[in-house]
Structure formats: C-alpha cells, structure tokens
C-alpha cells in the first residue's frame, strides 16, 4: 500500500475523518436555474445535454456558484443521465418536463446498449474536469460524480422520471437475470467513467442514488448496496486515496446497512434522517454530509438560521460536511444561499 499524503483542503480533511471547528460546505445542485448567470448560459445551449457536453459552458456554470459563495467544493457540471446517453440510449430534456428516453425493457434492448465508444462520447465531460482542475481556487476541492446503477436503471427502464417505478420494479422482481445484465453493464460503464474523471482531476466522488428509498430491504441489498460496493471497490483498488460519498436517498434505517456494506467514506443524509441517530449509528464509521431541507433555503430568514443551527449543533462534534438533504430548488433566492454560508462559517470551536 502506498501512503497517501494528508489532504490540506478542508472538504478532503473532513472526508478523511477529521472533525473541523468550521465544517466545509457545498450544496447539491449549487449550479442551476436559481442563478441568473446560469439561466443566461443555459439560454445559449440548444438542449440541456449540449450544456453538459460543451466544456466552455460546463466549466463556466461550475464556477458560477464558487464566485458568489466561495464553497469548499466544486461539483463537475454534468448529469447522471450522460451515462445512458453514451451507452447508446439517447436522452432528451424537454423544457419543464424532465428527461425522456426510449425505454429499455427486455434482453434484446439491453443487449443493444454498448460500451463501444462510451468513453469517447464522454470526452467533453472529461475535458471539463481537466479545465476545472486548474480553474478552481487552490483551497477548493473538485468532486466528480455519477448516478448509482439502480437510479440510472430506473430512468432507462421507465424512459424518464417515475413515481411508482412499475416498469423498473417489474424487471427487477420478475426478470432478475435480465435486470442484473443491465446493472452489470452500468457498474462497468460507471466504474470506467468515475476512474477517468479521477484521472482528469476529480479529488472525490459522489454517487447519487436518488431512488434508493423505493426498494424493500432484500432488493435494496441486491440493487443498491451490491452495485455501489463494486464501484467503491474498483475506485479503492485502482485509485487508492480518492474518497467516495454515497447518497442513498430515502434509505431510512437502511442507511446503516448501506454504510456497512458499501465501504463508502461518507454518506449524504436526506432531509428526513434523524441526526441523533445518524451521529450515534453512522458517524463513528463515516463522515456525515447533509441535510438541510431545501425548502428552508427557499423560505430564508430565521427559519433558515434555526435549521442551520440545529444541524451544526447535532453533527459538528464529529466528521461533517454541511449540505442540503437534496438539490437546491429553482425558486431559491440567491441571497438566502449567502445567508446560509455566512451562518455555517460563523460558528467556531
């Protein structure tokens, strides 16, 4: 084993298990439509994926929230759905309607997906990571990311967003061997994608499993924990020293099994996770990240202050990164984000 140098950036120190007097802070979806400067760039791009695949634009929108708020981490601007797009299942984003894909629901459709040319199609994303590596401030860490295989598979099988996941669950429960082939393909593609992000400059990885909470425990073990464990193992083996944050949103009490079973260095807590429980059961093993209700950031004022203070009081004795419990909402007033960052930074030892 090669000895890893100790990190100096506060975000990476927290991920390495240090408890810091002022926790590092970044916010999921910190780049996005709540910022007027984002909407300006977005209006130049034909579709949302053009924005993700144009390094000039993707680099610029990644930097926008850093300029305003000086977050401790930047997250690559892209989307979890570039993976199916690059596997040959084109993704369209219709204005106000979310993503649309032609569903993949049987062996023949799954077999038509291909890793040939996968990394080539994602070259613009890797180019963005390279540019960000030199463009961000020296004290800011760069996060690469992907969706987790289960969440990405739900979009691929449903053909878009879903409430009940009827088609994805029908495949997972009814034809597990076929669903396993899709998950295996996603593990392979996503693993290569994340390792290549690291090779271009990503210093930490977050794996978004937004729909983890939709599965009962046996299916959670098979379709959430096991694929994520394989991704973490690949990163730990091939690029040792790069920390991984898992986000099994909605997992409830299964957060504990997720932490024990996947080998992640940190977990991002959704808004509903009780903090005393997380501090007692999870923080001894991993760094906690989270979990302010994004609606409090829309609300602002003293409700926001109280929400921030409650989380800091509960979590800051151990390794902790301040974040939301889910992404920033479009109606968030930018001034409220400044108020949040001031509040988090005000608290000391």
List 145, 220, 223, 322, residue binding ligand CP3 (CB under 6 A): 145
Binding positions for ligand CP3, 10-49, rule CB under 6 A: 28-33, 42, 48
Q: Is 38 a catalytic residue?
A: no
As measured in angstroms, the least distance from the Cβ of 155 to ligand CP3 is 7
Binding positions for ligand CP3, 307-336, rule CB under 6 A: 327
User: Is residue 54 involved in binding ligand CP3 (CB under 6 A)?
Assistant: no
Residue 93 vs 320, nearer CB to ligand CP3: 93
Catalytic residue among 29, 68, 92, 345: 29
Which long-range contacts link 212-217 to residues 24+ away (Cβ below 8 Å)? 212/148, 212/150, 212/151, 212/248, 212/249, 212/250, 212/251, 212/254, 212/258, 213/248, 213/249, 213/250, 213/251, 213/252, 213/270, 214/154, 214/165, 214/169, 214/250, 215/150, 217/254, 217/257
What is the longest distance spanned by two Cα atoms in the chain?
59
Q: Is 309 a catalytic residue?
A: no
Binding marks (x or -) toward ligand CP3, 154..183, rule CB under 6 A? -------x----------------------
The region of 17-25, 76-84, 231-239, 341-349 touching ligand CP3 under the rule CB under 6 A is 76-84
Applying CB under 6 A, the site for ligand CP3 has a residue count of 21
User: Is residue 234 involved in binding ligand CP3 (CB under 6 A)?
Assistant: no
Q: Is 29 a catalytic residue?
A: yes
Q: Which residues bind ligand CP3 (CB under 6 A)?
A: 28-33, 42, 48, 75, 77, 79-81, 93, 98-99, 145, 161, 208, 210, 327
């Amino acid at each position: 084993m090669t000895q890893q140098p100790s990190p100096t950036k506060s975000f990476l120190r927290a991920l390495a298990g240090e408890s810091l007097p002022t926790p590092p802070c970044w916010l999921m979806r910190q780049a996005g439509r709540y910022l007027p400067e984002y909407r300006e760039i977005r209006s130049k791009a034909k579709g949302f994926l053009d924005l993700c695949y144009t390094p000039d634009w993707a680099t610029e929108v990644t930097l926008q929230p850093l300029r305003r708020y000086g977050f401790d981490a930047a997250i690559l601007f892209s989307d979890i759905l570039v993976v199916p797009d690059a596997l040959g299942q084109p993704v369209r984003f219709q204005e106000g309607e979310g993503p649309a894909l032609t569903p993949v629901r049987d062996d023949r459709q799954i077999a038509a997906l291909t890793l040939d040319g996968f990394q080539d199609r994602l070259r613009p994303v890797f180019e963005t990571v390279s540019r960000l590596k030199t463009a961000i401030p020296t004290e800011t860490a760069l996060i690469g990311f992907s969706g987790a295989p289960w969440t990405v598979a739900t979009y691929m099988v449903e053909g878009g967003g879903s409430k009940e996941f009827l088609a994805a669950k029908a495949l997972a429960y009814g034809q597990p061997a076929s669903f396993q082939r899709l998950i295996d393909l996603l593990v392979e593609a996503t693993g290569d994608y994340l390792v290549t992000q690291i090779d271009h400059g990503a210093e930490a990885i977050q794996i978004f499993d937004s729909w983890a909470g939709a599965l009962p425990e046996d299916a959670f073990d098979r379709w959430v924990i096991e694929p994520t464990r394989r991704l973490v193992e690949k990163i730990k083996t091939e690029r040792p020293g790069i920390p991984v944050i898992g986000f099994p949103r909605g997992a409830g009490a299964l957060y504990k099994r997720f932490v024990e079973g996947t080998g992640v260095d940190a977990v991002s807590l959704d808004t509903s996770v009780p903090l005393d429980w997380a501090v007692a059961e999870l923080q001894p093993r991993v760094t906690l990240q989270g979990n302010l209700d994004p609606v409090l950031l829309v609300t602002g004022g003293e409700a926001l202050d109280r929400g921030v203070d409650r989380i800091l009081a509960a979590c800051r004795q151990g390794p902790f990164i301040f974040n939301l419990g889910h992404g920033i909402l479009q109606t968030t007033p930018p001034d409220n984000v400044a108020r949040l960052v001031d509040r988090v930074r005000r608290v000391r030892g």
